[in-house]
Each structure stands twice: as structure tokens, then as C-alpha cells.
């Protein structure tokens, strides 16, 4: 049983990279702690008149390069350690894609599935009341994360504008299109990852039509990625959600899977009702039901974890057959698994690069909020592609020059950019 936590896993990679880039004396501890950790309990009135209290956090890791930026998650397991690790990763991520932000993250320890919609709205508004002095377009700009969505962002913006008596569409991103959102934000994470994968496949002179892809997670990131890959001619051989997965050597049609998922709640919905499956029909269609663990170890070329953290570990890494791993999820690979993949020659495109499309289009939304402009789909897509490919190029160059893995190279690129800004500001 591993005793590591999200933050100790972040620190392990951080310190490996800091040693490799040979900083000046005393600089090795520069990124050990966040600049600010804000913690408060927030209280809401529940429907029956009683009070409910939740722990809430906002961790602001580093703002040398611009306002803090990072999502807010509502989850029963949200805790300071996890939020700290995610805030640290955001600082690296915004620097890797070279957008003018620092890194932050927020969390409320709550299960929104146990609340009414009115109570969720109250939690959102109370969060802003608790932390508004530390938020704002020039200070810290939150966004959606696990279990938070565009409605919650709209309530948060409204609450902030009420408290501060300002018009501040740029205080938060991931808002509804009708309330200051940007086109393209909903598919941005998948599109960003797709641009990088496509570039890698091109440069390696591989044929998308020969590439078999397995995707864990069929939500915003995973389902959109499955559709993009399918449209581009890749063979999506497996997808999964929390209830398990489906595999077909011939390839599956993600649009069809999406249709059944919205009808039945599961990617296996075409063939199975709960644990009971129509085996005859599955055989006829050459389809098999698989577990999430089996999906990770399938015989395929590209593996895309797009659900949970900590799923590729030293226990299963040497059974992973894919030669390329694109991390759409945050933190799916432990540092020990990274070591195994390096020895096996498996290329891992790390989360801080692969899933940075989301925060990049959040930056576009922030810019539009500040300028009053409204960009078109084409403008967003073209600029997203440019940002992602520039970041990929910088990471690839660093990896080659310094003999690093892509994760180490991405950290190195990010850290060097942060150090440059910290130097200008006289912090070091
Ligand atoms: P989502 O809630 O839309 O989808 C999550 C998917 O994971 C669902 O299909 C769910 O069924 C599945 N899942 C849950 N538990 C699972 C389990 N035990 N095994 C397999 N699948 C399981 O979330 P999302 O926005 O797609 O985010 C997925 C990952 O991508 C997270 O790690 C998130 O931090 C990361 N990410 C998302 C974005 C974004 O813009 N959506 C940006 C950056 C990173």
C-alpha cells in the first residue's frame, strides 16, 4: 500500500527536475510551498431549516507570471493536500503553455449529489463570500473542475459582482455562453490533447488508421477525445466509465456509445443492463465487456487516461502495452510508474501539457471578458492549436536537449519560465 499523497507525488517529480536543471544554491526549495493557503468553513441553510457546514479551500501556489488560475472542485474527498498538489500543477501548466497566469486550485468538501440544486447554489455563493477578497480578474480567476459546471460559475460571478459592486466577467471562466462564456471551452481539453497527439503521430510518420486507442473515462475530456480521434480515422478500440468498459478489436463508434450512454447512463448500455449483458449480441458485434483495470493493460498503441488520478502505478505499469500515453486526466501516473515507462521506452505526454487546452481556452475567455470581444469558433480553434503546438515544441526540444522524459521536460520548461518572472520581480 503506497503512502504517497498527491502532493508528495508532485514533489517527487519536482525535485527530480530541480536537480537536473541545476539551480543556484538555495533555489531548490523555491517551489516547496504555496504562496497562500486560504481555509474556511462555509455554512448553508438546508431545506428543513437546519444548517450544513463544509470545509472549503483556495490554495494560491504561485503568481509570478500573472493572476492565480485554477478550478474549484466539489467533492467529499477534497482536502488541503490534494488541492495543494493540483494548484502546484496548475502553476506548471500555465507556464508550459505560456499563458499569463499563475496556478491555484479550490475545493469544497461536499458531495453535491446529496444536495438540492438550491443548496448547491448556496455553496457556490458562500464560497465566493468566504474568499472574495482573494479573488478577481487581476488576482485569482477560478474555473470549473470535478462536479462544478457553468451554472456554478455563473452564480459565483453574480455573487462576486454583487459583493464588489463591479462588472467583472473576467473574475471566473467556464461560464455559460449566455453569461460571458467562450465558444470552444466545452471541447477545449480534448481538442488541445488531440492537436498534440496528431502532431506526434505526424512527426513519427505513423498512420492514424493503424493506431488503436483505448480511453479510460467517457466524460467531457474522454468522450470528446474519442469523437475527435474517430473522425480523424484512428481506431478507438475501448472506452470506459465508472461502471466499466467496452472493447472491440474492430473499433467502436463513439457517437453511438454517447447515444447509449445518455439513454442508459453507461458506455456498455447498448449491450448490458447493470451486470446482465446480451452475450449473443456482443459476440455477433465482436464486442466484449472489460473492467477499467483491463482497459489500461489492453493490447493497443495509444492509451488515454481521462478519468481518475493515480491509476498507472508500479503495480500495473509493466503490463501496459501501449507505446504512447496521453494524460488527459490530472495525475494518472505515479512517479514509480513513470520510471517503469521510461525503462520500457513508453512515451508519456504529461497532464501539464496534454490537458492544458482547457486552461488555454479559459485564458481566451478571460481575455474576451476583459476586452468585451467575442471570438468565433475558428479564432478559438486556430489560437488553441498555435498555443498547444508551441508548448509541445518547447517540451520536445527540452526533452531532447537535456535527455529528459516529456514530464521532466514539461516541468523544466514551466519552472524556468516561472524563475524568469520571479527574477524580474526580485523574489530571487
Ligand atoms: P467528467 O466528470 O466529465 O468525466 C469523468 C469520467 O470518468 C466519467 O465518464 C466517469 O464515469 C469516469 N469515471 C469516474 N470514475 C471512474 C472509474 N473509477 N473508472 C473509470 N472511469 C471513471 O470529468 P472530465 O472533465 O472529463 O475530467 C476527467 C479528467 O480530466 C479529470 O482528471 C480532470 O481533472 C481532467 N481534466 C479535465 C479538464 C476539462 O476541461 N474537463 C481539464 C483538465 C483536466
Would you say the C-alpha torsion 217, 218, 222, 225 has a positive or negative sign? positive
How many CB atoms neighbour CB 53 within 10 A? 11
Strands 212-216 and 103-108: unpaired
> Does residue 327's CB lie within 6 angstroms of at least one atom of ligand 1?
no
What does 377-419 look like in DSSP terms, one character per residue? HHHHHHHHHHHHHHHHHHHHHHHHHHT--HHHHHHHHHHHHHH
> Relative to the CA of 358, which ligand 1 atom is closest?
40
- From the CB of 320, is ligand 1 less than 6 Å away? no
Whether ligand 1 lies within 6 angstroms of the CB of 217 is answered as yes
Beta bridge partners of 69: 141
- Report the distance separating Cα 418 and Cα 75, nearest Å: 30
Shortest-distance atom of ligand 1 to CA 328: 30
> Which residues does the chain have with pLDDT short of 70?
1-2
Inter-axis angle of helices 150-164 and 117-131, nearest 10: 40
Distance CA 156, CA 48 (A): 24
276 forms beta bridges with: 273
Distance separating the N- and C-terminal Cα atoms of the chain: 39
| Inter-residue contact 173 to 365 (CB < 8 Å) | yes
Q: Is 328 in the pocket of ligand 1 (CB under 6 A)?
A: yes
* Nine-digit cell string for 129: 463570500
Cβ neighbours of 297 (radius 10 Å): 18
- Ligand 1 pocket, 307 CB below 6 A? yes
Three cell numbers written together for 293: 483495470
Which residue has the least CA distance to atom 15 on ligand 1? 242
Alpha-carbon gap, residue 61 to 53, rounded angstroms? 26
Q: If you take atom 4 of ligand 1, which residue's CA is the nearest one?
A: 219
Question: Quick one: cell of 327?
Answer: 494524460
pLDDT of 27 reads 84
Q: What is the pLDDT of residues 346-379, one digit of tens each?
A: 999 999 999 999 999 999 999 999 999 999 999 9
Question: Could you tell me the residue ranges of all domains in the chain?
Answer: 36-169, 188-349
Nearest CA owner, ligand 1 atom 17: 242
Computed on alpha carbons and rounded to an integer, the radius of gyration of the chain in Å comes to: 21
Distance 24 CA to ligand 1 centre (A): 39
Look up the CATH number of domain 36-169. 3.40.50.10860
Identical topology for domains 36-169 and 188-349:
yes
Catalytic residues, which ones? 105
Residue nearest to atom 28 of ligand 1 (CA): 307
CA angle 146, 148, 153 (to 5 degrees): 140
Q: How far, in Å, from the CA of 146 to the mean position of ligand 1?
A: 7
Residue 185 Cα: closest atom of ligand 1: 40
Q: Rounded to whole angstroms, what are the CA distances from 273 to 259, 266, 280? A: 15, 9, 14
CA distance 190 to 256: 18
CATH (residue range 188-349): 3.40.50.720
Q: Measured from the CB, is residue 66 less than 6 Å from ligand 1?
A: no
Give the strand pairing for 324-326 and 347-349.
parallel
Cell 431549516 identifies what position? 49
Query: How many A from CA of 167 to the centre of ligand 1?
Result: 32
Amino acid at each position: 500500500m503506497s503512502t504517497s499523497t498527491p502532493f508528495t507525488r508532485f514533489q517527487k517529480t519536482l525535485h527530480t527536475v530541480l536537480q537536473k536543471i541545476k539551480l543556484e544554491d538555495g533555489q531548490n526549495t523555491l517551489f516547496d510551498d504555496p504562496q497562500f493557503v486560504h481555509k474556511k468553513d462555509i455554512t448553508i441553510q438546508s431545506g428543513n431549516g437546519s444548517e450544513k457546514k463544509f470545509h472549503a479551500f483556495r490554495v494560491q501556489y504561485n503568481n509570478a507570471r500573472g493572476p492565480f488560475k485554477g478550478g474549484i472542485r466539489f467533492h467529499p474527498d477534497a482536502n488541503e493536500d490534494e488541492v495543494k498538489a493540483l494548484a502546484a500543477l496548475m502553476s506548471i501548466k500555465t507556464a508550459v503553455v505560456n499563458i499569463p497566469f499563475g496556478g491555484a486550485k479550490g475545493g469544497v468538501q461536499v458531495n453535491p449529489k446529496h444536495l438540492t440544486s438550491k443548496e448547491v447554489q448556496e455553496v457556490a455563493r458562500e464560497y465566493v463570500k468566504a474568499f472574495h477578497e482573494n479573488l478577481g480578474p487581476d488576482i485569482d480567476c477560478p474555473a470549473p473542475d470535478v462536479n462544478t459546471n457553468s451554472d456554478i460559475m455563473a452564480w459565483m460571478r453574480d455573487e462576486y459582482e454583487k459583493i464588489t459592486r463591479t462588472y467583472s466577467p473576467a473574475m471566473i471562466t467556464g461560464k455559460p455562453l449566455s453569461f460571458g462564456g467562450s465558444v470552444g471551452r466545452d471541447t477545449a481539453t480534448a481538442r488541445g490533447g488531440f492537436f498534440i497527439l496528431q502532431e506526434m503521430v505526424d512527426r513519427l510518420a505513423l498512420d492514424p488508421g493503424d493506431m488503436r486507442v483505448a480511453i479510460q473515462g467517457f466524460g467531457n475530456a474522454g468522450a470528446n477525445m474519442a469523437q475527435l480521434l474517430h473522425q480523424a480515422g484512428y481506431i478507438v478500440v475501448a472506452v470506459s466509465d465508472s461502471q466499466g468498459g467496452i472493447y472491440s478489436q474492430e473499433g467502436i463508434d463513439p457517437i453511438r456509445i454517447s447515444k447509449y450512454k445518455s439513454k442508459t447512463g453507461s458506455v456498455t448500455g447498448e449491450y448490458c443492463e447493470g451486470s446482465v449483458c446480451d452475450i449473443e449480441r456482443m459476440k455477433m458485434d465482436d464486442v466484449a465487456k472489460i473492467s477499467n483495470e483491463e482497459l489500461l493493460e489492453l493490447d493497443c498503441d495509444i492509451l488515454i487516461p481521462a478519468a481518475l488520478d493515480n491509476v498507472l502505478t508500479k503495480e500495473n505499469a509493466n503490463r501496459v502495452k501501449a507505446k504512447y500515453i496521453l494524460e488527459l486526466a490530472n495525475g494518472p501516473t505515479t512517479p514509480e510508474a513513470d520510471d517503469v515507462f521510461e525503462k520500457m521506452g513508453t512515451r508519456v505526454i504529461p497532464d501539464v501539457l496534454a490537458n492544458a487546452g482547457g486552461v488555454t481556452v479559459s485564458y481566451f475567455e478571460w481575455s474576451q471578458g476583459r476586452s468585451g470581444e467575442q471570438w468565433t469558433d475558428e479564432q478559438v480553434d486556430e489560437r488553441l492549436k498555435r498555443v498547444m503546438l508551441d508548448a509541445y515544441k518547447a517540451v520536445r526540444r527540452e526533452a531532447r536537449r537535456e535527455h529528459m522524459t516529456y514530464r521532466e521536460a514539461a516541468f523544466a520548461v514551466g519552472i524556468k519560465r516561472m524563475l524568469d518572472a520571479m527574477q524580474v520581480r526580485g523574489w530571487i
